[in-house]
Chains A and B, each alone.
Chain A
Amino acid sequence: MPIALVDCNNFYVSCERVFNPRLEGKPVVVLSNNDGCAVARSNEAKALGVEMGQPWFQMQDLAKRHGIIALSSNYTLYGDLSARVMSILSDFSHNQEIYSIDECFLDLDGFDPNTLMDYGHKMRQTVRQSTGIPVCVGMADTKTLAKLANHCAKKGLAGSNGVCNFGSMDEQKLSTLFSGIPVGEVWGIGRRISAKLNEMGILTIQDLRSSDPEYIRQQFSVVVERTVKELNGIPCIELEDAVQPRQQIMVSRSFGNEVSQLADLSESISYYATLAAEKLRHDGSVASSLCIFVRTNPFKDDVPQYSRSMVVPLLRPTDDTLKLVHASLQGLKQVYRTGYGYKKSGVLLMGLQPKGTVQASLFDEPEDQAKSDSMMRVMDAINRKMGKGSVTVASSGVRTRWAMRREKKSPSYTTEWGELPVAF
């Protein structure tokens, strides 16, 4: 049963390039929250030796010398383009598993094996033209092999023009190919397992593939045994059904500057609860309880550390911003202690269920419910039209001393009317 893994190339950088063609051909990195370290690199930046996860302050010299362009992460933009790419790819198969923001598996059962390479090229071409995002396609009989085929397509080790199908290669070609790739490139083989495999003399993918699965299970686990079987074309990892309903919604951020006042923390918590409530309503769900947390910076070991969370059950499952903010602030008051520099806070909504299925309780007032619903509808509509945060609860503040540092963020090209790309 052929499976394809479609993966976007340097996804965050590619998103930025769609709307800023000047970035084409230049070394570009996208930085993590608070402009900390590199979370995406263009090929040009990789060639200059920028590592994944490298802190931005370490690259300053290199950046100056080679004109590396650093951008703050713009998750709103990446999320929108991801949804578009995934939706387009879903037309290519009856069964799609979205594996991460930039990759998905497609079930290609029933397709003529001889046409798969062309089909892969068509996927690539369609996504590229419709969204501007370049992707690579790897195809094989198991998920592990499809991942590997994708790696080979991306690195140009096999296949053609960013598409690689192991199903069209004979055993000799495959074993030659696998003999040249270190075992650590296999999906699910982390650094620790990889080191132990190397000690045992298993250096390449071909070595692992020809190992005795039984022996591997004794040495490691059933998980690694499965990997060996998958490398031999025996499917062990099922394609998971497309969209699992969300079990919880988390909104949390690190602060640009540490904050110590309850007032500042309250603003941030109110804001996160507001965002979480919007997501909740978008999903058509209600939350039965929520958890708030605050913590200091664990990387500063010379200052006093504090970290605390609290679960606040809700009397009745709700999607009302005001009720969720109120409950979050009650929780915050309980966990807040003076004398600490807080670095991060967050709100987690739990016990989600579809709004229609909520059991009525003894204390319900239907008119209140209707009033709350219509207020939330108006709030969402205004924020959609006038931009995020146009209407919000007053407790989330207007000064936002705690806001995340994102100095080099590109505009929200696809989600704010005021920030559309401009054509002359």
Chain B
Amino acid sequence: MNHPIPLEIYRPEIGILPVRLPLYGYKVPAGFPSPADDYIESRLSLDEHLIQHKDSTFFVRAKGNSMVGAGIFDGDILVVDKSLEPGFGDIVVAVVEGEFTVKYLARQGESVILKPANARYQDIILKDGQELQVWGVVTSTVKQFRR
């Protein structure tokens, strides 16, 4: 701070509100412990189930219908792990001309292509000199039917 700020101590007024004093604050628990106590385990967590590497996992919203054949619909949430090494057959989020696209990573002859899961969409084949940049590997999707 550029200028010193004078400090002042301020005390709240006590006594405006009536103060009720609890005589017995807590009920004393008595009796036998629950027989289920020994069997308690932590509940299932979707986070743990869907996310293997929490520091490298991001959520991405799917847009459009290019992957309906793979069960990815408009509006689904993609769980994307950036730390995984992408392989052929994986569904990946890739960067094409500055935009994110979700497609299958596939091979066609010598070259690597991005393959949609919808016959109405075309394969993305990179032109000479264009480098395929895989942003992350899609490990699962979250689809909500009702909120």
Residues of A near any B CB (own CB < 8 A) = 21-22, 24, 84, 87-88, 126, 129-132, 291, 293, 295, 298, 305, 307-313, 315, 327, 330-331, 334-335, 362-367, 413-414, 417, 420-424
Contact = CB atoms under 8 A, between A and B. Distances in A.
Given A84-B55, A311-B7, A422 B20 contact: no
B21 interface: yes
Given A84-B56, A330-B12, A423-B62, A21 B102 contact: no
Q: Looking at A84, A126, A315, A362, which has the most chain B CB atoms within 10 Å of its CB? A: A84
B12 A315 contact: yes
B3 A307 contact: yes
Contacts of B10: 310-313, 330-331, 334
A334 B82 CA distance: 52
Given A21-B99, A130-B53, A420-B59, A362 B2 contact: no
A424 B102 contact: yes
B5 A21 contact: no
Nearest to B8: A310
B14 A315 contact: yes
A131 B55 CA distance: 8
B7 A424 contact: no
Given A313-B12, A366-B22, A423-B93, 8 more contacts: A84-B55, A130-B82, A131-B55, A132-B135, A309-B5, A310-B8, A311-B7, A422-B61
A312 B77 CA distance: 45
Contacts of B77: 420
Interface in B32-89: 53-56, 58-64, 66, 77-78, 82-83
Contact of B60 (A130, A291, A309, A422): A422
A132 B82 contact: yes
Interface residues of B, number: 42
B64 to A, nearest CB: 5
Nearest to A25: B98
Nearest to B65: A424
Interface residues of A: mostly helix, strand, loop or mixed? mixed
13 contacts: A22-B99, A24-B98, A87-B55, A129-B82, A132-B135, A293-B5, A311-B10, A313-B10, A327-B12, A364-B22, A420-B61, A423-B100, A423-B101
A365 B20 contact: yes
B112 interface: no
Q: Looking at A21, A363, A424, which has the most chain B CB atoms within 10 Å of its CB? A: A424
Nearest to A88: B55
B100 A312 contact: no
B28 interface: no
- Shortest 6 CB-CB contacts between residues of A and residues of B: A130-B56, A22-B98, A423-B100, A423-B102, A130-B83, A420-B61
B129 interface: no
Contacts of B127: none
A96 to B, nearest CB: 14
A291 B10 CA distance: 10
A39 B63 CA distance: 34
Contact of A307 (B5, B53, B54): B5
Nearest to B11: A313
Contact of A312 (B12, B25, B62, B78): B12
Contacts of A420: 59-61, 77
A413 B3 CA distance: 37
